[in-house]
Amino acid sequence: MTPVDVRRGIVCAGEALREVAVDGTSHWICADSSPAVPQSKVLALPEFDECLLGYSDRSAALAPEHFRQIVPGTNGIVLPTIVSAGRVIGTWRRTVTKGMTELTPEPFDALTPMQSSAFVALVDRYRDFSTN
């Protein structure tokens, strides 16, 4: 698919799409969706998730200075990410010891109390899922 194809698709979609500017860059979303991501929404995404890999310009989700923390060897290996309010805020690690699964956050900056609480809730759900 070329940029010309994308532009044609946007025109064909008409009012079904809405343009949202993020840091001066245009992004297109469904017209009936909200551009705001709930501040309380925290995700622990797996390696190679489309949140980052689906885009050549990742600046809407990831600050450029953190790219090497997501792809440390710049060799194609992508670490799992923590996303809060649509932005990558760190990575996480999974370890299993004596049948107990642990997810350890490795944030770029200190997690806020809300982010920390939401991450703990994610860990609990992950453990419930992985032990069933």
Tens digits of residue pLDDT in 82-112 = 999 888 999 999 988 888 888 899 999 999 9
pLDDT of 131 > 70? The answer is: no
What pLDDT was estimated at residue 126?
A: 82
Query: Looking at residue 40, what is its pLDDT?
Result: 62
Entry pTM = 0.73
DSSP E strand stretches across 23-116: 25-30, 42-45, 81-84, 87-97, 100-107
d(CA 8, CA 72): 37
Whether the predicted pLDDT of 130 surpasses 80: no
What's the rounded Cα separation, in Å, for the pair 16 and 117?
36
| Contact (CB, 8 A) for 54 and 45 | no
d(CA 60, CA 85): 11
Per-domain residue ranges of the chain: 1-35, 36-130
User: Which whole-number Å values give the CA distances from 33 to 19, 80, 121, 131, in the listed order?
Assistant: 11, 26, 26, 35
Q: List, for residues 4-60, the tens digit of each pLDDT value.
A: 998 899 999 999 998 888 778 788 888 887 656 565 689 999 998 887 777 778 888
Average pLDDT score over residue span 106-120: 93
Q: pLDDT at position 98, please? A: 87
pLDDT at 116: 92
Element (H, E) at 21: strand 17-22
